[in-house]
Amino acid sequence: MSNHGPLPVHSFDAVPDCRRCDRPGRLHASFPHSWKNQKDKDVPGTRAFVLCPNCDAQDPDATELLSLLAVCGSVTPENIAAFADLADDWVEALRLRLPDLAVLVAEEDLWQRGEL
């Protein structure tokens, strides 16, 4: 487990539907993220992800976390340490992934049309 920067925020309350398949999400995580603009200045922002039992079932960074949630149903005092480790590993893997430009273009199109 790595710890880079501020801790991610994990939420089980009001988890949005998965944007990829429109099915219910299982966990929502968001974390600070920044990038350099054309003037080489940091632009702060936030990245957010929904853990989806359908779309992330084959993602090696998500399978153990999905399994824990499927078997246990929720986070309990007995599994909170395992959950924390798996959730932090999942978020760390997400931090290292570059955004999919096709997804960004599609989301921008939805935003331009007022649908996002």
pLDDT in tens, 87-113: 999 999 998 888 788 888 898 899 999
- Claim: this prediction has a pTM higher than 0.85: no
- Of residues 48, 52, 49, 43, the one with CA closest to residue 25: 52
Tens of pLDDT, residues 34-92: 888 889 999 998 888 999 999 999 999 999 999 999 998 888 899 999 999 999 999 99
Task: Specify burial of residue 15 (Cβ count, 10 A radius: 0-12, 13-18, 19+).
Answer: middle
Task: Specify burial of residue 19 (Cβ count, 10 A radius: 0-12, 13-18, 19+).
Answer: middle
